[in-house]
Structures are given as structure tokens and as C-alpha cells.
Amino acid sequence: MCTNSRKAALMLPFMILTMCVTAQRPHDTIPPLHLSIEQIWEQAEMNNRRITMSKLHVETSEEALKDAKAERLPEINAAGAYARVTNMPVYEDGIFHTPEQFPVLHNYYKIGGEAYFNIYNGNKTNLEIKKEATEHAIAEQQKNLTVSEVKFNAAVCYLDLARSCRFKELIAKDIADQEKQLAHIQELQKNGVVLKSDVLRATLKLSRQKMGMVEIDNDIAIASQQLAIMIGADEHVLIAPDTSLSEQLAITGTYEEYLSAAAEHAYEYKISEEETALKELSLKQVKANVSPKVGLFAEYAWSYPQIQFYPYAGAAYGLGMYGVKAAFPISSFYHNKHKEKAAGIQLKRQEVEHEETGDQVRQRVNEAFLRYKEALTRIDVAETNVKQAAENFRIVNNTYFNQLSLLTDLLDADTQMLQTRFDLVSANIAARVRYYQLQKAIGNL
């Protein structure tokens, strides 16, 4: 009875630990979500928070453009006032003598409106509209860049998840083979054909593989949560990727054609181009400060009493005016001098920055193009290595069970074969990543 109690006491911590681990794995109770990479991109475009923020920024810039266009409409104001007028003492003999009180009407009110329509102000209104339109275009390209970056990051995460799933499949198969192999070695040890140390080594290798399976499961859970958050899905749902990614996406053009596509479609380059146009508009706006301002105006008001014209009258009256207003800022000739120089320098700086952006785009296209071709070559090498490792394992496996080689040779051959299969999976995944990186560099993602 005492022995059973001690065993129960020893097993209690392990039971609690098992319950905790089970509680921390919500994927076990929720069915996995099978998604292709195209479906991942669709979900990301609809639900990703970075993309949502960029879309809201586009909407903001669109409203700013509409507001700039509304400046072409006339300005219309209405105003009214009511006041109590105090008595008006008149000091005919000086302020130190008693004044005479001049009779006034103590109630005063005025109500009216005015309008102004701009005819010419140095083309500032049109320049402001063009500036807001350029800002809107920049916001659109920034949104496209954000979508491209999110899709690329989602693709990398998705492919990383697919690689982990393929690793899990390979390790699971290797564990099954190792268990059969261990059972065979144990039979040989019982018959006195091999040493007990062979059994221990094979058991140790099998336990390491099972520990590797735990690590792979954790990698899958982490990558799945990261991808789920990225696409706005439930983070507790396990995303099951498409692991049949053996068919590679081929390069359909030459390096020069990809450079031309990047010059036309690369989002960073188009943003830099629009920002250069924005600096040009800013310089024109500064130059427009030294320009006359001409506009039409009209105003009308009812007032009481009539004290604007002589003779005054204690009655309400209406008065209106209309005509043309013109003004010329003479002081802008010296106030605007340094502002114009500063705007010109900013334009030159932006032009240099635009050229640098072009250099960076070409460098990224060149690197992605060469790395993708390198990745395809790496796949061919990995496939050859898998065949050679499989043949080597077959030979060593036969020689070991015929007592012609050591167990260490067999374990090394098995490890080498599994590693070459890992390398082939990694090479295929890396090639996909390089392909998407190339598409992102030319603005096609």
C-alpha cells in the first residue's frame, strides 16, 4: 500500500505537467485550416492591419484632394452683430469741464453677408490641387508597396511553415524506420550477434529524433500563429499549408527585361518619382508668392441706425457693394528670396535621392535574379545528393546486418540520408522565396 502511494506521489507532477502542456495546445481541439499561398494573400489583403492602415491613408489623401479642389469655389460669409451704444459726452471746453451730452440711439444691430471669388493668385490654387493629387498618388503607391511587403512576408512565413511540415513528415518516416531497425538490432543482440552497445546507440539515435519531432511541432505552432495574425485569422487555428511545392516557378525573361519592368513598376521607384514631382510643385508654389492676387467681391448688409453717411438717421438701412479686388505683395520680393533658394536645394536633393533609389532597385533586381538562378542550381545538387545518400545507406545497411560494417557507419549513413532530404526541401523552399523576392523587386507582387 505504501509503495503504491509513493508511486502515485511520484506520478502526480508528471500528470500535472501533461495536463498543462495539453491545455497550452489549442490546435489539438480546433480543426486545421487548409490554405494555398494565393488564399493567404487574399486573406492578408482583406484583414492585415498594415494594409488597412495604408488604405485609410489613401482615403485621407483622397479627401484632402477633394478639399483642395473645393478651394476653387467662392468664399461666402454671413455675420451679424447687436450692441448697446453708450452716451457720447462732448467736451467743447476741454476734458476738465463739464461736457454736453450728445443724444445717441443706444440700440445698434447689423446683419449681412459677403462673397469673394478668386480669379488669379499666382496659380496657387491649381498648384495646391496638383500637390494633393501627387500626395494621393504617393499614398496609392505606398499602399501598393505595403501590400507587396505583406504578401512577401506572408509568403516567407507560409513557406517556412511548409518546410517545417515537410521536415515533420520526413522525421516521422525516419522514426518509423528507426523503430523497425532498432527492433531488428535488438533481435540480433538477443542472439548474441551484436553488442548491447549497438542497441544503446540505436536507442539514443531514436530518442534524439523524437526530441527533434517535438521541436518541429513547436516550430509549426509558432509559424502558424505568426501567419494567422498576419492574415487576420484566429491565432489558435493551425494553418495547414500546401507542401507539394516541388514545381518551381520559372524565370520568363532576361535580366534586362526585369530591369525594364522594375523601372516601370517598382513601387519604391515610383514613390521616389512622385516625391520628386512634389518638390517641383513646392518650388513653383514658393515662386508664386511674388504674384498679384485678383478676385471678384460682393457684400450686402442691413444696419440700424444709419450712421455711416451724413445726415444720420434713426432708421434701418441696407447697403451693398460689388467689384474687383486686387493686391500685390511687394515685400515678397525680399521675403521670398531665401525661401525660393531653399526649395530649389530641396528639389536637387530629391533628384539625387531619386537616382539613388534607382540604383538600389537595380541592385535588388540583380541580386534577386542571380540568387534565384543559384537556388535552382542548388536544387539540382540536392537531388543528386539525395540519390547518392540513399544508395550509400542501402549499401551500409546491407553490410551492417551482414556483419561487414559498424553500427556507427549505419547511423551516419541514415543521418546523412535524412540531412540530404532536408537540404532538398530547404532548397525548394529557398528557390520559392527567391522567386517571390524577384517579383517584389520589380513591383509584380
| Three cell numbers written together for 327 | 493686391
* Closest to 161 (Cα-Cα) out of 441, 429, 434: 429
Q: Which amino acid is at 307?
A: I
DSSP 271-297: HHHHHHHHHHHHHHHHHTTSS-EEEEE
| Matching residue, cell 480546433 | 30
pLDDT > 60? residue 83: yes
The model's confidence at residue 274, banded by pLDDT at 50, 70 and 90, is very high
Q: Give the confidence band of 153 by pLDDT, cuts at 50, 70, 90.
A: very high
Least confident of 9-23, 36-50, 290-304: 9-23
34 φ, ψ to 5°? -85, 115
Domains contained in the chain, CATH given: 31-69+122-179+218-292+330-441 (1.20.1600.10), 74-120+293-327 (2.20.200)
Which residues neighbour 351 within 8 Å (Cβ) at sequence distance 6 or greater?
Answer: 276
CA distance 160 to 163: 5
Residue 152 has pLDDT above 70, yes or no: yes
**Which pLDDT value is given to residue 250?**
67
Summarize the confidence of residues 94-112 as an average pLDDT: 85
Q: Summarize pLDDT for 20-52 with one digit per residue, the tens.
A: 443 344 455 667 788 888 889 999 989 899 999
- Chain position carrying cell 467689384: 323
pTM of the model: 0.79
Residue type, 73: L
pLDDT digits (tens, 9 = 90+) for 360-369: 999 999 999 9
Give me the mean pLDDT over the 227-243 stretch. Answer: 85
Position with higher pLDDT, 82 vs 178: 82
User: Helix or strand or coil: residue 351?
Assistant: helix
Question: Above 80 in pLDDT, residue 195?
Answer: no
CB within 8 A of 369, min separation 6: which ones? 251, 255, 258, 438
Label residue 407 by pLDDT band (50, 70, 90).
confident
pLDDT higher for 406 or 424?
A: 424
pLDDT surpasses 50 at 18: no
